[in-house]
Amino acid sequence: MLKANYHTHTKRCGHASGEDGDYVLEALGMGFTELGFSDHIMLPGFKEENVRGDYSLSADYFESIGRLKIKYADRMRIDLGFEAESFPLYFPYYKELLEAGTIDYLILGNHCQMNEERKIINYFAKITSSAELYLYRDLALSALQTGLFSCFAHPDYFMSSIQNPDKDVKKVMEDLIAVCLDLDIPLEVNAAGIRNGLKRLGSDLRYVYPTDEFFSLAGKMGAKCIIGLDAHAPDQISNEDSMDKAIMFARKHNLKLIDRLPFKRGF
C-alpha cells in the first residue's frame, strides 16, 4: 500500500471538493507518512474557470497548507506544490516560487498550449494530427528541461484519444521516456485514470490513461515511475481499489517504482 502521494488537488481549482484538512485526515487514516498538495497552479494575469483557481486564491492556499504542515508535523510530512502546465511565459514565475521557497515542488501536467497572448489554443486530450502530437512532445520537453519539475504527471495524456499508435506515436513515447530517464524525472502512473474505469476506444477497452503501450515501453527502458492518486476529493486518498490496480498495473509492466519524490528546483 502507498505511504505517500504528491498529486492532491483542492476545491480552489473549481473541479475538486472537500476541505484541505480532510485530505490530511484521510491520508493519516491510510497510514501515509507524506502528503503533497499540488493543486492546479494559480497564475497572475490569467483566468481559467473550473480548471484552476483565480490568482487571488494563492495566498489562502499557501497559508492553509502552511498551517497543516505545522499542525500535523509530528504525524506526517506535508508538502506544498502545484501541478503546472508547460507555459513558457510562466516559467520565470515557476522558478521564482521555487527559489523563494514559497512552494516545495512542481509536477508537470501537460494538458494544453498557451500562445503569446495568454490564450489557450490547443488541447491535448483529443490529438488529431501528427503536428499536435509533436507539439505535445516539444512542450513537455521544454518544461522538463528547465529542471523545475519533480515529476511528469500522466505523461501519456496525449494517448487519451489515440486508438492505433503509429510510428509517430511510438517516437513521441520514446522521446519523452528517454528525456525523463536522462533528467531523472519519474513518470506518474495516474490513479485517477484507473478510478475512471475502462473506456471503449474503437475496438479497445482500456484506461484513457495510464496506457499499456506507454508504460510497457517505460518498463523496458528502465524509467523511474511513481503512483499518483490525482485526488480531487478526500475519499480518493483512501480509495484502495484504485491503489491496488495501479500497483498491479506497475507490476504488469515491470516498472521501476519509487515511493518518495525527490524535489527539483531548477538548473
CATH number of the domain bearing residue 137: 3.20.20.140
Which residue carries 475512471 as its cell? 196
Euclidean distance between CA atoms 26 and 234, whole angstroms: 6
Residue 202 exposure: Cα atoms within 13 Å on the Cβ side = 8
Structure confidence at residue 267 (pLDDT): 62
Taking residues 125-129, what's their average pLDDT? 94
> pLDDT for 128-139, tens place per residue?
999 999 999 999
Stated pTM of the model: 0.97
Taking residues 183-205, what's their average pLDDT? 95
What number of other Cβ atoms are within 10 A of residue 79's Cβ?
A: 21
The answer as to whether 266 is a domain residue is no
> pLDDT for 215-258, tens place per residue?
999 999 999 999 999 999 999 999 999 999 999 999 999 999 99
Taking residues 164-185, what's their average pLDDT? 97
> pLDDT for 34-92, tens place per residue?
999 999 999 999 999 999 999 999 999 999 999 999 999 999 999 999 999 999 999 99
The answer as to whether 137 is a domain residue is yes
Structure confidence at residue 118 (pLDDT): 97
Residue 120 exposure: Cα atoms within 13 Å on the Cβ side = 12
The pairing of beta strand 199-201 with beta strand 112-114: unpaired
Q: Give me the domain span that covers residue 105.
A: 4-257
The answer as to whether 51 is a domain residue is yes
The answer as to whether 264 is a domain residue is no
What domain count does the chain have?
1
Share of the chain above pLDDT 90, in %: 96
The answer as to whether 197 is a domain residue is yes
The answer as to whether 262 is a domain residue is no
The answer as to whether 263 is a domain residue is no
- On the question of pLDDT at 2 being above 80, the answer is yes
